[in-house]
Amino acid sequence: MPIDDDLKQLDPEDERSTGDTALEQTDVLPPTPMVGGKYRLGRLIGEGGMGAVYEAEHTGLGVRVAVKLLNEVFVTDPSAMSRFRREARAAAAIRHPNIVEVTDTGSDEEGVPFIVMELLEGESLSALLRREKVLPPMVAATVTTQILSGLAAAHDKSVIHRDLKPGNILLARREDGTCQVKILDFGISKFRSEVTQDVTAIGAVIGTPRFMAPEQARGQTDLDHRVDIYAVGVLLYRMLTGKLPFAAKSHEEIIHHILTGTVKPPREIRPDLPEALEQIVMKAMASDRDHRYQSAREFITEIQTALPDLAGGTVQITAHTGLTNTPTPMSLNTGPGSSLLASFTPPTREASPHALRRRRSPALPVTAALVVLLGGAGIGGFLLWGRGDGPTAATVDAGAHFNGPPLHFGITEYLPKRQLVKEHNALVQYLSRRLRRPVELKVYEDYIDLSAQLAAGKLDLAALSSYAYVRAKRHSPGLRLVATHVTTGGTSYEGYIVTKADAGVTRLQDLKGKVFCYVGPNSTSGYLYPRAVFREQGMDPDKAFRATRFTGDHLSALRALESGACQGAAVFAGIFFEAKKHGMAPQRFRILASTARIPYDAYCVPPSMPKETVHSLTEALLALTPGSKTTEEVLGRKSRIIGFAPARDADWDPVRRIEKYLDAPEGTMKLEQ
């Protein structure tokens, strides 16, 4: 059935950030002092949605390393475990100076897997580009040849990275002050023998298309090492011009540009570039992979031919004077396996006003493992306090005087983070005033268990999705339910299984053998309910499709569908209001099936919260009655959330009824009405 055009909804801004997030480092203690019987953990360096990284010491050798531990909540998640093992296996298989070194792997006493990596100081290429905007051709070429040297070694081992971008490239500082390029985050890499198996990782590259080759954007499964060649071409384009070749307002437009191959030549942006260097960039980014460089070493040779002085030059990198071609006492060797030799001074970072009050000294190292957490596609929802687009992005007015510690409010990233922060900023300000204490918003990836964050004391209030609430209540009966939010559709919503209107797909069975997009493994309308619907129709959702992908949020799922990266998608009904605002008319999609009604989020607090705080928070939320003048003043007239309502645990019984069918054998599913 076609989608009606007379739908009404808000028009929030949308665009997920592609840069790195600047993070403050903390003195949070590790959960256990030893792992693997030989690594003594030190300070927590960084924490991401799927794991945490600690400084550590090998007790037998006295060597300092970085240990990355998978979050224990993912130990039973096959996708997360597969990605974690793949990261260790891929990096360990290569052994090259331009690849972050993995020295060990194993499991701790509780069965939680870990990876041991070299400890590195430095900054990401993303951070360097934010500071310098553009790089001199010699510097850009030097960095590029080092990336290609590492890739050549990876490709020799049949490892395809698949997610090269500035955040995954580290300029590591060595003891003598020189720099060495390191390629990070092999979490979604694949060995060539695995490419057609489509082992989908949480937050697959669909969510970050700017460096994707056309065959990736189309969702092809026969990918090879030439997707990395293409990505390096985009990196070189960005370093030379200060711009991305496919900048646009939406992922849909970016993918369209990638597929059509409409690239503005670099010299139109920066006329002083050598013509030979422009030709190299354009060849690396050829839409047809047969017309690109067929190997990383061929790419290196072309760069060295175009810039014959490359092997004998020197480069100095500083935080205050920029990049200059200044002689230094070090030689620059750009052959395979060599490093970028340069004087390096990391930029000075001003303290964030919202940083943790307990902070480590500023001279401690940033590890490659930390950048892996920051740069990896889909590994968002960082738990550290930070600046810019970090999780703590909506906060109380600076200078306000309140009593008590901050109240940490967590939500999942069912829409792009900036959009959610904008939506919730007014509510955060309102709660801060009502409670007389700072309230700080933290946005997490959909697959992160917010109830676990509540239990760990990292959150004081969380908006749990329907399924997350049902599971959390079963495991923690003392969890307190304080309210639910209301939209123009009421206190519940539907999920849709959709396709493009002109795709020739008219029923669910037509999706068999095709690529299907889900939002995330914990999304009720974007994963759980649709799986139940498929089973009701006699389809096994684990076997029916050629491949399945996770996009991270509902808008990205529609964009992937629109771009052709998948032929079917599961989304919540209200997303079509958003799609219309982002150039995707509802009439371009066809609804194949709808789910039963799903209750909106359950706003919960931990059992340990004092009764007076629970009362004040509940009172503040329920004071925002839908339609009232106060609510309009606080939330605005165009807010998707129009107020709050009392909630009873029984309101989520429909979810409990469907829960037991989610993993039922094929043919036994019968949805209850």
Give the active site residues. Answer: 163
Q: Where are the alpha helices (DSSP H) in 519-584?
A: 529-536, 554-563, 575-581
Q: How far is the C-alpha of 206 from the C-alpha of 255, rounded, in Å?
A: 10
Mention every residue, 6+ apart, whose C-beta is less than 8 A from residue 629. none
Length of the chain: 673
Residues facing residue 102 across a β-bridge: 117
Q: Measured between alpha carbons, how far is residue 388 from residues 20, 450, 453 in Å?
A: 10, 22, 22
Kindly provide the residue ranges of all beta strands, DSSP E only, lying in 414-469, ordered along the sequence: 439-444, 461-464
Q: How far is the C-alpha of 515 from the C-alpha of 505, rounded, in Å?
A: 13
Q: How many CB atoms lie within 10 A of CB 554?
A: 29
For the stretch 308-312, contacts whose Cβ atoms lie closer than 8 Å and that sit 24 or more positions apart, written own/partner, are 309/138, 310/138, 310/141, 310/142, 310/145, 310/334, 311/335
Q: Parallel, antiparallel, or unpaired for β 598-599 and 492-493?
A: antiparallel
Q: Evaluate whether 207 touches 378 at the Cβ level (below 8 Å).
A: yes
Q: Evaluate whether 570 touches 560 at the Cβ level (below 8 Å).
A: no
Closest Cα to residue 553, out of 218, 219, 203?
203
Mention every residue, 6+ apart, whose C-beta is less than 8 A from residue 357. none
Closest Cα to residue 278, out of 522, 287, 270?
270
The secondary structure of the chain in percent helix, strand, coil, rounded to multiples of 5, reads: 35, 20, 45
Q: Parallel, antiparallel, or unpaired for β 51-58 and 589-594?
A: unpaired
409: its two tokens: 């409010």
Handedness of CA 231, 232, 238, 241 (dihedral sign): negative
DSSP-assigned letters across all residues of 28-78 = PPPS-SEETTTEEEEEEEEE-SSEEEEEEEETTTTEEEEEEEE-GGGTT-H
Tell the residue number behind the tokens 């690109």, with chain if given.
Answer: 292
Q: How far is the C-alpha of 72 from the C-alpha of 50, rounded, in Å?
A: 9
Q: Measured between alpha carbons, how far is residue 550 from residues 322, 377, 447, 520 in Å?
A: 40, 11, 10, 5
Q: Measured between alpha carbons, how far is residue 574 from residues 157, 447, 493, 495, 637 in Å?
A: 46, 20, 8, 9, 17
- Is 130 exposed, middle or buried, given 0-12, 13-18 or 19+ CB atoms closer than 10 A? middle
Q: Evaluate whether 50 touches 80 at the Cβ level (below 8 Å).
A: yes
Q: Which residues of 608-633 are buried (b: 16+ CB within 10 A; e: fewer)?
A: ebeeebbebbbebbeebebeeeebee
Handedness of CA 642, 646, 651, 652 (dihedral sign): positive
Q: How far is the C-alpha of 415 from the C-alpha of 437, rounded, in Å?
A: 27
Phi, psi of 395 (to 5 degrees): -135, 170
